[in-house]
Homo-oligomer: A and B are copies of this chain.
């Protein structure tokens, strides 16, 4: 494989010279109908309202070939050390199923290792849900609380919220899931206030077993558990860990059980590993998590297609790079028309910005183009009453990523004024795509819309576990392809180290640093 910077590719000049396809001239029934790619899990990707046409796609094919996107993806799947900064394998796709061949590392079949932990989750979650594994006073568990931050929080929380309503709609038995993440002590206090500890299981999640926030919150929770005066209550029977085999957490004797993952699963890519799997399986059921994995695995396979018109993740990636580096758009909005996906934009914000917010290439050399965009978003129609004014009439153009579903999850709806809420929701989504794309002229400039605000659409019949898995994998793989295109390492995060180091310095007295001392004084009693 060749690793070249984007601007060193033979076709880069041609790529950089591409003029945007004007939506006002080109959006049409046939364009919409012909701009589909199957994602997996019943999800489709539509790129009709993005500023590209056949000319662009021909150049994209050259870039994809020159940058060897599929070869690099296959190398990653095969266990090459694509995380150059940390010299690690990148194996999150393997948690959803084998794609190419077995991956051996550290003298172990990694696929078999992940499968063994998945089997452990199956047993554990089934025993809990069937009331065979119970709390220390003999009561069945009703609540499960994840203690973790960043990748151990955002993804699992987003997916739990996304699939909870689906399970309610199917009338499935469920445990309540809660999350404690922030080192702010008010976060844990809020979650555990009034909680019935006898029926609660805590899951500590930290790969290294050294995350400051998580260990601190573990101790806060343990103190609360140990202060209960319930006869026979034993805190150690109410806590399990998800961590790496070699971490200090794995050695803790006061835990009821531990499930393992390893350094080859990045935090932000760990939703489909035990980090997400344990809590989803306990709260919603192991079969739900299996369906989620199946949807993700289907998209992982689709992402192997060398034909960009059949590879949604690659197409989305390439158009994103075009809009970032050629059209100069520096941000992108994720707009799910589904309240269940309320925290998915926050997860995607981490996934994308932590992966591709890089200023050096994979070999640590400076690069001379912009990398990952700013990612933000809120569910529609809520966002329409918030920042859409800025999107429609502000002075910047931000590409939009709409997500929509034909049916709701909970099955409760009502027809008001001739249409159900679900139909109104999707009428708004349809309207926004077209309003952003085409705009409207008006004699009064204050009522004029320039249009050419481009958008994509991911959509499915319903937000099922398979659909959610496919959407997640779509974004993970899109971000991976973008990292390959930019020739950066999407799998390390050196940018978070300096803050950690200085925080330790503050806690140990600031070591004479006048700036730290002065700010610290402002924020101290």
Contacts and interface: CB of A to CB of B under 8 A. Distances in A.
Interface of A: 27-29, 32-33, 46, 85, 149-151, 153-154, 164-165, 168, 181-190, 193, 212-213, 215-217, 219-220, 223, 267, 330-331, 337-340, 346, 349-350, 353-354, 356-360, 364-366, 369-372, 374-376, 378-382, 384-396, 398, 404, 406-410, 412-414, 416, 418-435, 437-440, 444-450, 457, 459, 489, 492-503, 505-507, 513-520, 522-525
A29 B518 contact: yes
Contacts of A525: 406-407
A409 B513 CA distance: 29
B421 A496 contact: no
Q: Which 3 A-B pairs have the closest CB atoms?
A: A357-B390, A150-B385, A431-B502
Contacts of A371: 394-395
A186 B506 contact: no
A409 B186 contact: yes
A165 B186 contact: yes
- Decide if the interface of chain A is mainly helix, strand, loop or mixed: helix
Given A354-B389, A519-B32, A503 B220 contact: no
A190 B165 contact: yes
25 contacts: A150-B384, A164-B190, A168-B193, A182-B339, A183-B381, A184-B422, A185-B414, A213-B381, A216-B421, A331-B331, A353-B386, A359-B395, A364-B446, A370-B396, A372-B390, A372-B394, A374-B374, A389-B493, A407-B525, A419-B507, A423-B524, A430-B506, A439-B498, A449-B498, A459-B523
A175 to B, nearest CB: 15
Contacts of A219: 414, 416
B431 A154 contact: no
Contacts of A350: 385-387
A85 B446 contact: yes
A372, A378, A393: residue with the most chain B Cβ atoms closer than 10 Å: A393
Contacts of A372: 390, 394
Given A85-B446, A514-B28, A183 B374 contact: no
A519 B150 contact: no
Contact of A523 (B187, B421, B426): B426
Contact of A517 (B29, B168, B507): B29
Question: Which one of A354, A406, A413, A506 has the greatest number of beta carbons of chain B within 10 Å?
Answer: A506
Contact of A426 (B392, B432, B524): B524
A515 B184 contact: no
Nearest to A525: B406
Given A416-B215, A430-B523, A495-B393, A438 B185 contact: no
A183 B435 contact: no
A208 to B, nearest CB: 12
A216 B413 CA distance: 10
Nearest to A345: B376
B357 A389 contact: yes
Contact of A386 (B354, B358, B422, B523): B354
Given A184-B339, A523-B406, A29 B515 contact: yes
A492 B394 CA distance: 13
Contacts of A445: 359-360, 364-366
Contacts of A370: 395-396
Contact of A29 (B190, B220, B514): B514
Given A183-B381, A216-B416, 17 more contacts: A164-B190, A165-B186, A184-B338, A184-B381, A185-B421, A213-B424, A216-B414, A350-B386, A369-B395, A370-B395, A389-B493, A423-B507, A429-B519, A430-B523, A434-B513, A435-B499, A439-B498
